[in-house]
Structure 1
Amino acid sequence: MAWVYLVIASFGEIFGVASINMFLKRKSVLWLFILILTFGFGFVFLSLAVREIPLGTAYAIWTGLGATGAVLMGIFFFRESASLLRIVFLTCIITGAVGLKVFG
């Protein structure tokens, strides 16, 4: 169940970063509230995950999934560039997170 919590926590990270983007565009109290809520949601599930998963592993996977999801959300929803170099580095993040779990 801890791994499910970790994936859910990653969604908090992904939507938190998207909320930062929306807050910077709109500068409204609503988006500030959504930003705080989404990151808080992610932190709650991260705290549940680290009860069973070692902190170093959980944090690496959480940030890897969160960064990957945030980049993909930026590309697909906020029309950010999808250059080859960006995709290569995104692949490095995914490979590092997966490698940590396989070899850690």
Structure 2
Amino acid sequence: MAWTSLVLAGLFEMFGVAMINKLHRDRNWKSLVLLVLGFGASFVLLSYAMETLPMGTAYAIWTGIGASGGAILGILLYGESKNWKRLVFIAMVLGAAIGLKLTS
């Protein structure tokens, strides 16, 4: 259950990052509320996962999902660069997170 919570925490982190961009564009209360709810859910789920998983592993995977997921959302939704080098480094971050899971 801790790993499921950790992955969900990372997905909510991605959602929160997307809401930062939306708030920057729209400047409305709905975007702000969604941003706070997204990051709030992310922190609650991360905290739950850290009751079982080592702090270093949980934090590394959480930030890896959030960072790589945010970059992927930027590519898919906001027209950010699809440069092959960028994609390789995103894959490396995801590979490192998977490696931590396999060794934990």
State the TM-score, normalized to the length of structure 2: 0.92
* Corresponding residue of 1:36: 36
1:69 counterpart = 2:31? no
CA displacement, residues 66-87 of structure 1 (integer Å, 9 cap, x when unaligned): 1121111111112211111210
What's the counterpart of residue 90 of structure 1?
90
Comparing 38-47 and 71-80, the one that deviates more: 71-80
TM-score, structure 1 as length reference: 0.92
SS in 1 for 2:80: coil
Residue identity in the other structure for 2:43: F
Question: Aligned partners of 1:86, 1:77: CA distance in 2, in Å?
Answer: 16
Letter in structure 2 aligned against 1:47: S
Query: Mapping of 1:51-70 within 5 angstroms?
Result: 51-70=51-70
Q: What is the distance in 2 between the residues matched to 1:6 and 1:71?
A: 19
| Greater than 6 Å deviation, 4+ residue runs | none
Following the alignment from structure 2 to structure 1, what is the Cα–Cα distance between the partners of residues 35 and 7? 18
Aligned-partner residue type, residue 16 of structure 2: G
Partner amino acid, structure 2, of 1:90:
I
* Correspondence for 2:78: 78
Give the deviation of 1:100 after TM superposition. 2.5
Offset at 1:99? Answer: 2.3
CA separation in 2, counterparts of 1:99 and 1:89?
15
Query: What are structure 1's unaligned runs of at least 5 residues?
Result: none
- Kindly provide the amino acid, as one letter, of the partner of residue 86 in structure 1: R
What runs of 5+ residues in structure 2 fail to find an aligned partner? none
Superposed displacement of residue 102, structure 1: 3.0
CA RMSD of aligned residues (A): 1.2
For this pair of structures, how many residues does the alignment match?
104
**Which residue in the other structure is 2:99 paired with?**
99
Kindly state the Cα deviation for residue 46 of structure 1 after the two structures are TM-superposed.
0.5
